[in-house]
Chain A
Amino acid sequence: MAAVQVSESDQIKQFKEFLGTYNKVTENCFMDCVKDFTSRDVKPEESSCSESCLQKYLKMTQRISMRFQEYHIQQNEALAAKAGLLGVPH
């Protein structure tokens, strides 16, 4: 029962994060790519810029996430080493 509850709230958290990213990337790419307000139509260069912007943003967040996880793994290993858990002969 407890396991099901955890995964539901995790799912909701994930979805919330996704929605947040969605809004952030929209605002970001709009600011950087949309410059022409002489008409309501999104110009083709604005559209391709936004698409590249989105893809780049996602790749960037993936890379940052990777490095962040690596950092924490390193930290945990350092702590474990200090606590004498690593290098115990077995």
Chain B
Amino acid sequence: MDPMKAQQLAAELEVEMMADMYNRMTNACHRKCVPPHYKEAELTKGESVCLDRCVAKYLDLHERLGRKLTELSVQDEDMMRKAAVGSG
């Protein structure tokens, strides 16, 4: 695959991933912060503050795990390459 195309595809996949992440984050913070009581239509102050914090933490965690995951998969790749060379 030519590098331009590969880059474009990677960018598209990343956009898709962000959209998916956004949906999951919405779900997660909904479950964590909004108890299913629904006595009123407004968000309470507590729920609002919880949502703000939830979004911040979710995005932070997403970043950290992304970095760690990249690190681990690079290590993994190295290991496999060395194993392939060794068995050749």
Contact = CB atoms under 8 A, between A and B. Distances in A.
Interface of A: 28-29, 31-33, 49-53, 55-57, 59-61, 63-64, 67-68, 71
10 contacts: A33-B38, A52-B41, A53-B38, A56-B40, A60-B26, A60-B30, A63-B43, A64-B29, A67-B52, A71-B59
A71 B55 contact: yes
Given A32-B36, A64-B26, A68-B22, A59 B55 contact: no
Interface string B13-56: 00000000010011001100110101111110001100110011
10 smallest CB-CB distances across A and B, nearest first, come from A55-B41, A32-B36, A52-B38, A67-B55, A53-B38, A52-B41, A49-B38, A59-B43, A63-B51, A71-B59
B25 A52 contact: no
Given A60-B47, A64-B51, A68-B22, 12 more contacts: A33-B36, A49-B38, A52-B38, A52-B41, A56-B34, A57-B30, A59-B41, A59-B42, A63-B48, A64-B26, A67-B52, A68-B25
A56 B22 contact: no
Interface residues of B, number: 21
State the main secondary structure of chain A at its contact with B: helix
State the main secondary structure of chain B at its contact with A: helix
B34 A60 contact: yes
B56 A71 contact: yes
Contacts of B33: 60
